[in-house]
Amino acid sequence: MITVRLFAMLREKAGTSEVTLTTRPETVGDLILLVGDRCPGIKDMLACGRILISVNQEFVKQDALLKDGDEVGLMPPFSGGQDRQGIVRIQEGPFSLDAEIARIKTTSAAIGGIVSFLGTTRDVSRGGRVAQLEFEHYAGMAEKKLAEIRERAIADLGVIDVTIIHRVGTMPVGENIVLIVVAAEHRDEAFKACRFCIDELKRITPIWKKETTPDGVVWVEEHP
């Protein structure tokens, strides 16, 4: 048996968040054909080749082999875990920039600079007005990808510590959405790592954004 989880616009168009296949297809590509037949509302989206696929919360290609018990995630493009110190989080409630900076300052006496990025909800998108936004994530996989981004920033860019927090749920305009705080010995490394983290978050983390506008609701597939 294979469990297929659908997210964001795929879930809405299919009318379900989960499809169970009692007969195991050989490859992910075969699975996509079966799901398209089971859920005609998303058949064209699945066939276009732009969806992202995970097996047991790891990204794969369509030629990946499947085994009984696998969990497959089918995802539209992203709008783009907790580690040893609990500083990679996805949460519904607000966070405190001051508290997170104060916390990261205590991690090492070698810290010489801290750089932060704070993302907020805005009232204009692609030239139109936005009343509110809704963020959805693939629980478990999203936290895992944020933890990977944090570890890569520390290992590859020479920083001391990184905090990544992203909120989910429905939020009005003006709310804080995402926070990245980077601590390093020197400012150059801190700035580079902060930019790396937000860019990778939008590229590989399964979080989607839906905007409510005067003309209706729109899933946002890509972000600058």
The full 3-state SS of 77-111, as one line of letters, equals CCCCCCCCCCCEEEECCCCCHHHHHHHHHCCCCCC
With b meaning 16 or more CB within 10 Å and e meaning fewer, what string describes 70-98? bebbbbbbbbbbeeeeebbbbeeeebeee
pLDDT of residue 220: 83
Q: Count CA atoms closer than 13 A to 152's CA, side-chain side.
A: 15
Report which residue type is found at 171.
Answer: M
Model confidence over 4-29: pLDDT tens digits?
999 999 999 999 999 999 999 999 99
Mean predicted confidence (pLDDT) in 82-100 = 78
pLDDT of residue 79: 64
Stretch(es) of the chain classified as CATH 3.10.20.30: 2-75
With b meaning 16 or more CB within 10 Å and e meaning fewer, what string describes 16-27? beebebeeebee
Query: Closest Cα to residue 80, out of 189, 188, 224?
Result: 224
pLDDT of residue 127: 64
Q: Please say if the pLDDT value at position 81 is more than 70.
A: no
Q: How confident is the model at residue 83 (pLDDT cuts 50, 70, 90)?
A: very low
187: Cβ–Cβ under 8 A, 6 or more apart, which residues? 112, 113, 115
pTM of whole model > 0.75? no
CATH of region 88-220, choose from 3.40.50.880, 3.90.1170.40, 3.30.160.270, 3.40.50.150: 3.90.1170.40
pLDDT of residue 52: 87
Q: Please say if the pLDDT value at position 92 is more than 90.
A: yes
Return the CATH superfamily for domain 2-75.
Answer: Beta-grasp domain (3.10.20.30)
Distance CA 75, CA 61 (A): 13
Q: Please say if the pLDDT value at position 182 is more than 80.
A: yes
Stretch(es) of the chain classified as CATH 3.90.1170.40: 88-220
Distance CA 71, CA 12 (A): 19
H helix and E strand count, the chain: 6, 15
